């Protein structure tokens, strides 16, 4: 456990160093990329289906990807300390899902939140919101190839024992690729053509700054499950 923790800390330091560098360079990189992307778009002739167009589209797509990576690194580098306050994990979850409702409806994903009781935690609601949005959008993207009728996200929020708040996001997608499981939370691991592979890195680091954990597994009946734990608010009354 200690070795794993040390490894994770080294990874965190590594990404923090890269993030700081990106913060300094972002402007320098973003401005010329914008020009390149704009020029490539100008060269595109509408309706033309040639190699030339294919190459131009590829240039634009790859620039988008670099821009996304820089933006994510910036988010990471500019992260602030969590501003902890007493809140109900169930309410924060509901808020995030309602925020995403339009996007979920557009992509034909049905969702429900199961929460038998309030789950009091000391947390930064904005940061938890960010983590939830990330997990839910990942789940949505994973289900894109799925039959429209079969796309569902279930979020459960509950207490576990006397000290733990648990939140699980489960989807009905293809699940996590087995070979990705050991490296899922490492920087730049992605299977998406425009992915940055930083979403889960940022999500985990936010949760860990709250004294919590974020883990992933595949459900035996299919789909991916992300399990987030946080310390339960001490002295919170039950129910
Ligand atoms: P990105 O979204 O930019 O790829 P993430 O760190 O958020 O970066 O995710 C890393 C990878 O983890 C994704 O590319 C995808 O392969 C996998 N993944 C994440 N969430 C899910 C999910 N719910 N189902 C299947 N695969 C997932």
Mean pLDDT for the stretch of residues 216-233: 97
> What's the 144 CA to ligand 1 centre distance in angstroms?
13
Return the H-helix or E-strand segment holding 170.
Answer: strand 164-171
Tens of pLDDT, residue by residue over 162-192, are: 999 999 999 999 999 999 999 999 988 999 9
Cα(201)–Cα(142) distance, rounded to whole angstroms?
18
Decide: helix, strand or coil at residue 120. strand
CB 173 within 8 A of CB 224: yes
Question: 171 CB under 6 A from ligand 1?
Answer: yes
Tens of pLDDT, residue by residue over 119-153, are: 999 999 999 999 999 999 999 999 998 888 899 99
Residue 76 confidence (pLDDT) above 90 = no
Q: Which pLDDT value is given to residue 28?
A: 78
> What's the 16 CA to ligand 1 centre distance in angstroms?
21
CB 113 within 8 A of CB 157: yes
Quote the mean pLDDT of the chain.
89
Tokens encoding 108:
């034909």
The β-bridge partners of 156 are: 114, 168
Q: Which pLDDT value is given to residue 81?
A: 83
CA 31 to chain centroid: 26
Cα(155)–Cα(88) distance, rounded to whole angstroms?
15
- Cβ-proximal residues to 165 (8 Å cutoff; 6+ apart), any chain: 89, 119, 120, 121, 157, 158, 159, 229, 230, 231, 232
Tokens encoding 89:
């994990």
Q: Which pLDDT value is given to residue 114?
A: 96
Q: Which pLDDT value is given to residue 155?
A: 98
CB 155 within 8 A of CB 97: yes
CB 205 within 8 A of CB 214: no
Mean pLDDT for the stretch of residues 60-84: 81
Ligand 1: which of 67, 131, 136, 138 to mutate, judged by most atoms within 8 Å of the beta carbon? Answer: 138
Tens of pLDDT, residue by residue over 148-163, are: 889 999 999 999 999 9
Residue 74 confidence (pLDDT) above 70 = yes
Rg of the chain (C-alpha set): 20
Give me the residue label for tokens 């990189």.
29
């Amino acid at each position: 456990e200690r070795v794993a923790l040390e490894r994770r800390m080294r990874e965190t330091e590594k990404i923090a160093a890269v993030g700081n560098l990106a913060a300094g360079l972002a402007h320098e990189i973003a401005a010329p990329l914008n020009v390149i992307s704009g020029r490539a778009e100008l060269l595109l002739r509408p309706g033309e289906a040639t190699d030339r167009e294919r190459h131009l589209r590829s240039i634009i797509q790859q620039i988008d990807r670099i821009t996304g990576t820089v933006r994510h690194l910036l988010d990471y580098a500019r992260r602030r300390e969590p501003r902890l306050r007493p809140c109900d994990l169930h309410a924060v979850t509901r808020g995030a899902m309602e925020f995403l409702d339009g996007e979920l409806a557009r992509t034909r994903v049905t969702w429900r939140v199961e929460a038998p009781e309030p789950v009091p935690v000391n947390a930064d609601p904005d940061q938890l919101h960010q983590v939830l949005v990330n997990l839910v959008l990942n789940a949505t993207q994973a289900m894109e190839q799925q039959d429209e009728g079969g796309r569902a996200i279930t979020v459960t929020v509950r207490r576990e024992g006397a000290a733990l708040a648990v939140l699980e996001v489960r989807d009905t997608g293809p699940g996590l690729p087995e070979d990705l499981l050991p490296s899922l939370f490492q920087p730049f691991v992605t299977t998406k053509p425009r992915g940055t592979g930083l979403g889960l890195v940022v999500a985990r680091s936010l949760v860990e700054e709250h004294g919590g954990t974020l883990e992933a597994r595949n459900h035996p009946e299919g789909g991916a499950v992300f399990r987030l734990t946080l310390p339960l608010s001490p002295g919170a009354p039950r129910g």
